Amino acid sequence: MSSWEANVRQVVPYTPGEQPQEQNIIKLNTNENPYPPAPAVQDMLKCLSPNALRKYPDPAAGKLVKALADRYDVGPEQIFVGVGSDDVLAMAFQTFFNSDLPVLFPDITYSFYDVWADAFRIPYQQIPLTDSFEIRAEDYRIPNGGIIFPNPNAPTGIALSKEAIRSILQANQDVVVIVDEAYVDFGAETVIPLTEEYDNLLVVQTYSKSRSMAGARIGFAIGSEKLISCLQAFKYSFNSYTMSDAAINLGAAALSDETYFQDTCRKIIETREDAKKRFAELGFSFGDSKANFIFVKHERVPAKMIFNALRERHIYVRYFDKPRIDNYLRITIGTREEMEALYAALEEILK
């Protein structure tokens, strides 16, 4: 071993879902939206000029921040934007989680949280979900250096009520509490209004799922002016120009078509509710998902087997080889046609 290797930061990286390059696959493994971005985004794409690439973008992403402030009815000083919510969350971890006490998050949750905590050397404690994979608000009343959880949770899809989140906030006013609302638009209730009551609450959302723009890499956080100014200071201490001019313009354009957004979310919700009936008929059990995916377990056939058999048929879903969830599959809600193809394949496999 060369001696410089002793000074390398050892990390276990996050494993993203596969992005297969072959054509004609059904991709239900990374919770992308099956519908295209809003027509206003497609129009804006045509207006983008190569000349914008010559210059640095607006470091404050003012146009996007203003559009988000209008859409979510908060002040522009209450909004922070970044390159996907992963960027926003990673910055929030570094900005707010600097206690010697452990940061709390569920044992089954977005698998980037423990990766960031390890990478940034933040102590943490994973709080077990109940047997039915629910977050229990009472479990978050122990000394801690911060709290983070997704609502709805991933990969379970189960949502927590606003009142349960309020009780977590009520008991934890001395630390920053982050609610990761990556999937909130598919049927859970946002806690953005609670940022007015709790200046330690940071709500994080993304364009990657409900706005069909995972490729544009746009995420944002809403919180008190104080919290947001801390995030800004941290961001400007290492990279001022995080978002491209294209992302800023496309992100603002997406917000101009509320009807399209609502219609797309409604279609996915309808397909999900139908999927619950179909999965039940096929012998799967699952919690009550409020997200654009369902976390299912078959009563008879092991998840790993179903995963492989689907893959052979060019249908990709997500399998996590982890304690407590290694017999589950996380299946993204696709178009109706994609889902019909999935049910047909499952019927064959489970015969």
Ligand X SMILES: *Cc1c(COP(=O)(O)O)cnc(C)c1O
Where along the sequence are the contacts to ligand X (CB under 6 A)? 84-86, 110, 150, 154, 180, 182, 206, 208, 214, 219
User: Least distance from C-beta 259 to ligand X, angstroms?
Assistant: 23
Nearer residue to ligand X within complex by CB, 154 or 268: 154
- Give the pair of three-digit tokens for residue 232: 């800004």
User: Least distance from C-beta 15 to ligand X, angstroms?
Assistant: 14
**Nearest Cα residue to 96 out of 73, 80, 75, 76:** 80
Q: Using CA atoms, how far apart are residues 207 and 195, in angstroms rounded to an integer?
A: 20
Nearer residue to ligand X within complex by CB, 85 or 244: 85
* Percentages (nearest 5) of helix, strand, coil residues in the chain: 40, 15, 45
> Buried (b) or exposed (e) across 78-101, using 16+ Cβ within 10 A?
bbbbbbbbbbbbbbbbbbbbebee
Nearer residue to ligand X within complex by CB, 154 or 248: 154
Beta strands in 88-211 (DSSP E): 103-106, 124-127, 147-150, 177-180, 201-206
User: Least distance from C-beta 305 to ligand X, angstroms?
Assistant: 25
Q: Using CA atoms, how far apart are residues 238 and 277, in angstroms rounded to an integer?
A: 49
Please check whether residue 79 is in contact with residue 65, taking contact to mean a CB–CB distance below 8 angstroms: yes
User: Least distance from C-beta 79 to ligand X, angstroms?
Assistant: 15
Nearer residue to ligand X within complex by CB, 298 or 330: 330
Nearer residue to ligand X within complex by CB, 129 or 154: 154
Please check whether residue 157 is in contact with residue 297, taking contact to mean a CB–CB distance below 8 angstroms: no
Q: In terms of residues, how long is the chain?
A: 351
User: Least distance from C-beta 342 to ligand X, angstroms?
Assistant: 20
User: Least distance from C-beta 125 to ligand X, angstroms?
Assistant: 19
Residue nearest to ligand X (CB): 84
Nearer residue to ligand X within complex by CB, 106 or 145: 106
